[in-house]
């Protein structure tokens, strides 16, 4: 992978998320691991939004290796009250060997591109009042599924978001708990793969802009760090602490790169300034997970500075 990033010709520009997805599939087919496919997909992308697409899709394949390579997939969890387990009101009903879903998801990233949705829904309430969550796969072309695009976001506007309404939509229920086995680990896996793809894209920018060799060294060191994270155990406290360190180093490197952007292609520079907020969208939740990880291994987070 590291040699690939230094020698592979960058991919050609594309003008739509559909073309970006086709390009990602062609590149990803060359790699066995989702994290490597994310890095290579990011390197092939001509903008950060399309790098995000690569990272997001490969995160889902890390979570569910059985997903078909040709189908774009999206997580559909967020509702009017958010994505916390207690806020899920969409209902999964199982009867006579069949499952259906009813409800509305207010914000599904890549919803209009996806052929399949990983839907987190409530299967009832436990005796202790806890919302029982299950995960299910739903085809977007299935009867009872209505996908409505939302206005473009101010950053990475090429990536579509949608509301999705389910009316007795047929579903394939996945084994396990919808939160602990799917939604919770996906947030960490997504962080890793989107960061991996962003690093691949920054290597592309560095090469196309003829940035100094020490910059490429720093970026490849971060790529190596991301590849070394324990993705087989996304709930591991140590993996979260290490990921926190990688994100901190990534932020430092991004700050150091600021003066070099004046030598980059103006279009790439303008997109970067527009799309940088993408990295902050999950920052608060990521910080909470990091604090929890430190506590889990016996460290007082207030004394680790």
Host domain of residue 158: 73-176
Mean pLDDT of 150-162: 96
290 and 190 inside one domain: yes
Question: What pLDDT does residue 303 have?
Answer: 53
Mean pLDDT, the chain, rounded, equals: 94
The b/e string for 158-172 (b: 16+ C-beta within 10 A; e otherwise) is bbbbbbbbbeebbbe
Query: Could you tell me if 224 and 256 lie in one domain?
Result: yes
Pair (32, 78) in one structural domain: no
Q: Are residues 150 and 253 in the same domain?
A: no
Q: Is the pLDDT of residue 230 over 80?
A: no
**What are the pLDDT digits (tens) for 38-56?**
999 999 999 999 999 999 9
Same domain, 171 and 192: no
> Are residues 214 and 162 located together in one domain of the fold?
no
Q: What is the pTM of this model?
A: 0.95
Pick the last residue of a domain from 152, 176, 200. Answer: 176
Residue 283 has pLDDT above 90, yes or no: no
- Percent of residues, the chain, with pLDDT higher than 70: 98
What are the tens digits of pLDDT across the range 236-270? 899 999 999 999 999 999 999 999 999 999 999 99
CATH number at residue 127: 2.40.110.10
- Minimum mean pLDDT range among 130-139, 185-194, 229-238: 229-238
According to the model, what pLDDT value does residue 23 have?
A: 96
For residue 232, what pLDDT is reported? 80
The total domain count for the chain is 2
Last residue of a domain, one of 176, 209, 234: 176
Structure confidence by residue, pLDDT tens digits, 22-39: 999 999 999 999 999 999
List of residues 6+ apart from 297 with CB closer than 8 A: 237, 238, 241
**Chosen domain end from 176, 198, 214:** 176
Q: Which of 98-107, 202-211, 238-247 has the lowest mean pLDDT?
A: 238-247
Inform me whether the pLDDT recorded for 216 exceeds 60.
Answer: yes
167 and 196 both lie in a single domain: no
CA atoms within 13 Å, Cβ hemisphere of 205:
30
Are both 219 and 253 inside the same structural domain? yes
305 domain-assigned? no
42/219 Cα distance (integer angstroms)? 13
Residue 15 has pLDDT above 80, yes or no: yes
- For residue 57 the two structure tokens come to 């899709």
Do 167 and 101 lie in a common domain?
yes
Confidence of residue 302 (pLDDT cuts 50, 70, 90): low
pLDDT at 234: 84
CB-facing half-sphere around the CA of 136: CA atoms within 13 A: 24
pLDDT for 301 equals: 55
- Kindly tell me if the per-residue pLDDT of 305 is higher than 80: no
């Amino acid at each position: 992978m590291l040699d690939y990033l230094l020698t592979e010709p960058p991919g050609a520009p594309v003008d739509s998320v559909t073309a970006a997805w086709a390009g990602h599939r062609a590149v990803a087919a060359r790699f066995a691991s989702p994290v490597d496919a994310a890095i290579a997909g990011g390197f092939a992308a001509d903008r950060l939004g399309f790098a995000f697409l690569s990272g997001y899709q490969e995160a889902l394949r890390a979570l569910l290796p059985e997903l078909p390579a040709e189908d774009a997939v999206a997580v559909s969890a967020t509702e009017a009250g958010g994505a916390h387990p207690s806020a899920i009101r969409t209902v999964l009903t199982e009867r006579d060997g069949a499952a259906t879903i009813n409800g509305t998801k207010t914000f599904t990233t890549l919803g209009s591109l996806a052929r399949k949705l990983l839907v987190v829904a409530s299967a009832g309430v436990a005796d202790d009042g806890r919302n029982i969550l299950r995960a299910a796969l739903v085809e977007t072309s299935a009867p009872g599924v209505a996908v409505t695009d939302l206005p473009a976001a101010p950053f990475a506007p090429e990536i579509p978001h949608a509301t999705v309404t389910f009316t007795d939509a047929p579903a394939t229920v996945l084994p396990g708990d919808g939160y602990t086995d799917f939604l919770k680990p996906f947030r960490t896996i997504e962080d890793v793969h989107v960061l991996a793809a962003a690093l691949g894209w920054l290597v592309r920018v560095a090469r196309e802009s003829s940035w100094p060799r020490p910059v490429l060294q720093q970026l490849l060191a971060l790529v190596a760090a991301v590849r070394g994270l324990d993705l087989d155990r996304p709930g591991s406290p140590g993996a979260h602490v290490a990921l926190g360190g990688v994100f901190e180093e990534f932020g430092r490197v991004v700050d150091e790169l600021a003066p070099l952007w004046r030598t980059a292609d103006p279009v790439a520079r303008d997109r970067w300034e527009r799309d940088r907020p993408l990295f902050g969208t999950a920052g608060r939740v990521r910080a909470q997970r990091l604090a929890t990880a430190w506590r889990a291994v016996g460290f007082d987070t207030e004394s680790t500075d």
